[in-house]
Amino acid sequence: MSTTAIPLPAATAREESPGARAWRRLKRRKGAMVGLVVVVLFVLLAVFAPLIAPYDPTATSWSAVRKPPTWAHWMGTDEVGRDVLSRVIFGARASLSAGLVSVGIAVGLGVPLGLLSGYAGGWIDGVISRMVDAMLAIPFLILAITLAAFLGPSLSNAMIAIGVTATPVFVRLTRGQTIAAKVEDYVEAARAVGNPRLRIALRHILPNIVSPLLVQASLAIAGAIIAEAALSFLGLGQQPPAPSWGSMLNSAQRFLAQAPWMAFWPGFAIFLAVLSFNLLGDGLRDALDPKHR
């Protein structure tokens, strides 16, 4: 041992995993923290909706049709006398699950395809990239509406339609990041050590490109919430009488002059949720970017 016992200056750097470092940097950003808090509140609202909502969101009351906000109904009532507050609270379930599930679908489809495309290259990359180009040539909402109409109106079909429509962005992002990462020395070193291709892609490339994917996912959730609202507004998403912010807006538009509260609150909820996810996404981007110090 004596031949190799070369002393080293004691390592001074503190032990900190990449995740812990990102969290420390995220905490410093006010906008991101506000976004995170509001997102968490919405999630709690959606999860505990039956406990929080003062009324049954589908219970009608002919004695309280289109009543403006009162102490009994904080956000007023709609055209069949349902409590708007309760419907907004239950609507968070549809919107958040639409956001999460459809982005989950998009990530689940897009990331593996992007990894394959970027890492394999050649004709595989050619085929996948051309399909992505074709899908991206169609405007997001038009494609989502077409798919949703094709699948039939229901909330789960809307989620599938939004998820599939959001997939190409993830394929492209993952592909680009993979191409950049695969020429790194550490990927070459992983090959030299004898890693099989699949393991290189999953264990060496994927963890190193997770940051931009995370940012894109948080921004895509905001987009998916809007898309769900749009589909529900058009009657292709959440089906009545179950509440969703989009379908509430749809029924409110006929009474905009007489009962503006019917449109205001679901609209405000959409605005707040989308803004929070965007703030969170921007903050994540800054916190995970190694160039920002």
Partner 1 sequence: MSEPLLEVKGLAKHFAVKRFGFVSGHVRAVDGVDFHLDAGETLAIVGESGCGKSTVGRLVLRLLEPTAGSVRFEGEDLLALPETEMRARRQRLQVIFQDPYASLNPRMTVGAMLGEPLMLHRLATTETERRARVGELLELVGLRPEHARRYPHEFSGGQRQRLAIARALAVEPRLIVADEAVSALDVSIQAQVINLMQSLQKRFGLAYIFISHDLAVVKHIADRIAVMYLGKIVETATTEDLFRNPRHPYTRALLAAVPQPDPTVVRERALLEGDLPSAMNPPSGCLFHTRCPFVRDACRRDVPVLTDGGASATQSGHATACPYWPEFPPAAALAQSMGQEQDRIRLARLQAAFVSQTEAS
Residues that bind partner 1 (CB under 8 A): 1, 3-9, 11, 13-18, 184-186, 188-196, 203-204, 207-208
Nearest distance from C-beta of residue 150 to partner 1, angstroms = 37
Position 99: which residue type?
G
83 backbone dihedrals φ, ψ, rounded to 5°: -70, 120
CA 48/CA 227 separation, integer angstroms? 24
- Closer residue to partner 1, CB minimum distance, 27 or 203: 203
Q: Shortest distance, CB of residue 249 to partner 1, whole angstroms?
A: 43
Q: How far is the CB of 186 from partner 1 (least distance, A)?
A: 4
Residue with smaller CB distance to partner 1, 99 or 118: 118
Residue 262 CA to chain centroid, in angstroms?
26
Task: Closer to partner 1 by CB, 85 or 287: give it.
Answer: 287
Closest approach of Cβ 220 to partner 1, in Å?
23
Can you read off the two tokens belonging to residue 214? 């995370």
Pick the closer one to partner 1 by CB: 79 or 289: 289
Q: Measured from the CB atom, is 15 or 71 closer to partner 1?
A: 15
Q: Which two tokens stand for residue 77?
A: 């009532």
Whichever of 12 and 63 has its CB closer to partner 1, that residue is: 12
Q: Which residue type is seen at 37?
A: V
Distance in Å, CB of 13 to partner 1, minimum: 4
**Count of Cβ atoms closer than 10 Å to residue 46 Cβ:** 19
For the chain, the first-to-last Cα distance in angstroms comes to 41
Q: Measured from the CB atom, is 82 or 182 closer to partner 1?
A: 182
| Three-class secondary structure of residue 83 per DSSP | strand
Instruction: Please identify, using beta-carbon distances, which residue of 130 and 203 lies nearer to partner 1.
Output: 203
Cβ-contact 276, 38 below 8 angstroms: yes
| Smallest gap from residue 118 Cβ to partner 1 (A) | 17
CB 55 to partner 1: min, Å: 49
Residues in the chain: 293
E-only strand ranges, 12-134: none
Q: Is the peptide bond before 241 cis (omega within 30 degrees of 0)?
A: yes
194: phi > 0 → left, psi -120 to 50 → alpha, else beta; which?
left
Least distance in angstroms from the C-beta of 254 to partner 1: 54
Distance CA 75, CA 87 (A): 10
Helices 18-27 + 261-288 axis angle, to 10: 130
